[in-house]
Amino acid sequence: MNLPLEHTALAVVGAGPAGLCAAVEAARSGVPVVVLDENERAGGQLFKQVHRFFGSRRHGAGKRGYEIADDLIAECLRAGVDIRLGSSVIAFFPEGELMVDGPGGVYLVRPQAVVIATGASEKTIAFPGWTLPGIMGAGAAQTLVNVHGVLPGKRVLIAGAGNVGLIVSYQLLQAGADVVGIVEASHGVSGYEVHLDRVRREGVPIYPGHRIISARGRDGLEAVVVKDLRGGRTVLFEADSLCMAVGMSPMAELAAMRGCRMVFREELGGFLPWHDEKMRAGLQGVYVAGDAAGVEEASVAMEEGRMSGISAAEEMGSMKKRQAAARRAAVSRRLADLRRGPYGEARMAAKCSLYCA
């Protein structure tokens, strides 16, 4: 089968925060960049984030997620980046070609370099009744509420007390849902205090050391049975929706398809492509960034995207070595700052284990 073939300097797969930052860094250095994303809107998970971000102004502190996405998209367009939405990359061949299923049909792209910034997918847990209508990932609930303006249910139980579970709980409360509780299998809350305080102020009960046993219902979810792991008693929650915020896994299928070496790091979400501190994935012209390189925060994804864009521009001769080294050093300092503290130490150690290997 002869497919149309297109040549480009840099192809970025994924228009989330990592991909957009990679694209703008490379494009500003004079590299022609094409960004490919299967969604109809650029920004990745940012466009469904309606809460204000905190941290540094450089990473959008004080702005809502969709506003940060709009800023990054505008930066890319000013730099001349070609953003192609509704374009799914369905294959990454060993010869380096990408197969793309776009609005006009299937075609091939042969880039000099590729940044894989495909993000992460939601993990789930299986239990009797887990396929009942009304049970979904927390990201799906966010999409329903923040993008389509539809509540996933009136009485919602949240599984997972990490940042995602806490943020989604608060957003559901703002949208008018009754969050009947947050259950967490571990014996503590792993989310940031700022998010925890919000749901506590709203009176949402949190149940650490509790595990979902089963879900009940005829045509949809009606109740969830939860076990107290310390005392052994069971608790019945009446709910018509269960949102599972039980972690994310890197979407690294394209890297594996290309032949990148895959490694396992539990602290970063599971299997991911090996990469060095320059975000090089061990094969000529292949880079990774963001959650595809290990699940962390959006601000980390942005900086890893910038790192990969700088490295790709240097490799293609559009950025001098001294300039690239200085810009990477600045990014490395910001990444180190973002990974400081009790929430980032394990991820920093996991990343360092990749670089040292």
Mean predicted confidence (pLDDT) in 215-223:
97
Question: Are 193 and 276 members of one domain?
Answer: no
What is d(CA 6, CA 84) in angstroms, rounded to the nearest whole number? 14
256-304 pLDDT, tens digit each: 999 999 999 999 999 999 999 999 999 999 999 999 999 998 999 999 9
Among 136, 124, 119, 118, smallest CA distance to 247 is for 124
Question: Are 131 and 239 members of one domain?
Answer: yes
10-43 pLDDT, tens digit each: 999 999 999 999 999 999 999 999 999 999 999 8
pLDDT over threshold 60, residue 221? yes
Domain final residue, candidates 244, 276, 303 = 244
* Helical residues (DSSP H) of 235-341, grouped into ranges: 253-258, 298-315, 321-338
Question: Are 91 and 180 members of one domain?
Answer: no
pLDDT at 91: 97
Question: Are 21 and 168 members of one domain?
Answer: no
pLDDT at 37: 97
Q: Which residue has the tokens 């009606």?
A: 222
Question: Are 193 and 284 members of one domain?
Answer: no
Domain final residue, candidates 221, 244, 267 = 244
pLDDT at 45: 81
Question: Are 275 and 198 members of one domain?
Answer: no
Q: Is the torsion defined by CA of 267, 272, 274, 275 positive or negative?
A: negative
Neighbours of 306 (CB within 10 A): 24
pLDDT at 61: 63
What is d(CA 115, CA 19) in angstroms, rounded to the nearest whole number? 7
Question: Are 100 and 128 members of one domain?
Answer: no
Question: Are 12 and 73 members of one domain?
Answer: yes
Number of domains comprising the chain: 2
pLDDT over threshold 90, residue 231? no
pLDDT at 191: 87
pLDDT at 54: 59
Give φ, ψ of 207 to 5 degrees: -120, 85
What is d(CA 108, CA 6) in angstroms, rounded to the nearest whole number? 6
What is d(CA 324, CA 330) in angstroms, rounded to the nearest whole number? 10
What is d(CA 340, CA 346) in angstroms, rounded to the nearest whole number? 10
Residue 1: which pLDDT band, with cuts at 50, 70 and 90?
low
pLDDT at 56: 62
State the chain's maximal CA–CA distance in angstroms: 65
301-325 pLDDT, tens digit each: 999 999 999 999 999 999 999 999 9
pLDDT at 296: 93
145-192 pLDDT, tens digit each: 988 899 999 999 999 999 999 999 999 999 999 999 999 999 889 888
Q: 3-state DSSP call for residue 289?
A: coil
115-156 pLDDT, tens digit each: 999 999 999 999 999 999 999 999 999 999 988 899 999 999
Question: Are 111 and 128 members of one domain?
Answer: no
* Residue numbers of the domain that contains 88: 5-121+248-356
% the chain with pLDDT above 70? 96
pLDDT at 146: 85
pLDDT at 60: 62
Residue 344: which pLDDT band, with cuts at 50, 70 and 90?
confident
Question: Are 133 and 269 members of one domain?
Answer: no
Q: Which of 81-95, 116-130, 187-201 has the lowest mean pLDDT?
A: 187-201
Question: Are 112 and 252 members of one domain?
Answer: yes
Domain final residue, candidates 189, 224, 244 = 244
pLDDT over threshold 90, residue 65? no
What is d(CA 119, CA 35) in angstroms, rounded to the nearest whole number? 14
Give φ, ψ of 344 to 5 degrees: -110, -10
Question: Are 227 and 238 members of one domain?
Answer: yes
Q: Give the CATH number for residue 157.
A: 3.50.50.60
What is d(CA 294, CA 58) in angstroms, rounded to the nearest whole number? 22
Mean pLDDT over each residue of the chain, to the nearest integer: 93
